[in-house]
A and B are shown apart, each in its own frame.
Chain A
Amino acid sequence: MIPIEHILLLSALLFTIGVMGVMLRRNVIVIFMSIELMLNAVNLSFVTFARSMDSMTGVVFIFFIIVVAAAEAVVGLSIILSIYRTRKTLNIEEFNLLKW
């Protein structure tokens, strides 16, 4: 049996890499992929706690998280597509229409 601390530490590490990706990268699609990575890290800790607590609720929650992630990816990518039509770039520094 794998010790649960190690799986949870892997989940924390993946989440931290996702946070760093959001803060360091400037390409909006890479930032979006980092958000997906963070969602996956949380999924991993959900499965780990569900298994170690003999519960099924965490696994059902992952089903919902994956569906929400899919919906988020679809809507987010179409927003990026329509921003690209007007700005002709993927650099997030250029997306400043709402700034004042």
Chain B
Amino acid sequence: MLIIFYIFAALSVFGALGVLFLRNPIHSALSLVGTFFCLGAIYVMLNAEFVAVIQVLVYAGAIMVLFLFVLMLLSSKDSGDYVNKWTIGKILAGLLSLGIFVQIAGLFTAENLELGPKGTYPLEVVEEVGSIALIGRLLFTDYILAFEIIAVLLLVAVIGAVVIAKRRFQ
């Protein structure tokens, strides 16, 4: 179990580094799809099957296909030249992100992490009822207002995308 987790973790970090370093943006997008698949496998190991399924369906399946569509539609041939030529800026960016990593990692590995009381859904309950049933029940009871707002947000996003991307004829 642990070995499989480390393999998928290494593959996902590898894919993320591919996004960072590959010159061709289409290669970056495909490498990001690999990262999303590996994260989906890690979600399965964490007993979150529903999240794993929507990760693969929505992220790797829908969002990344949209990215690839736009990349192939725009087909900019000179994109390899889009590099930051300011060396001091690169060094500053590296130092800043190192600082961010140290901060987050220090917070996550702190000894006296105050996490509050435990919830009411231990692993046995989740496996007995099923995680999809529990999420559905929570979505339509405790989080019904957020659910309705997110539906409106999706509608607004669809209409906004059509309006913004529409070609204007004179």
Contacts and interface: CB of A to CB of B under 8 A. Distances in A.
Interface of B, secondary structure class, is helix
Interface residues of B, number: 83
A47 B46 contact: yes
Contacts of B2: 2
Nearest to B92: A23
A30 B120 CA distance: 41
Among B29, B104, B118, chain A packs the most CB atoms within 10 A around the CB of: B104
A16 B100 contact: yes
Interface string A51-95: 101111101101110111111111101111110110001111100
B123 A54 contact: yes
Interface of B: 1-2, 5, 9, 12-13, 16-17, 19-20, 25, 28-29, 32, 35-36, 39, 42-43, 45-48, 50-51, 54-55, 58-59, 62-63, 66-67, 70-71, 73-74, 76, 78-79, 82-84, 90, 93-94, 96-98, 100-101, 104-105, 108-109, 115-116, 118-123, 126, 131, 134-135, 138-139, 143, 146, 150, 153-154, 156-158, 160-162, 164-165, 167
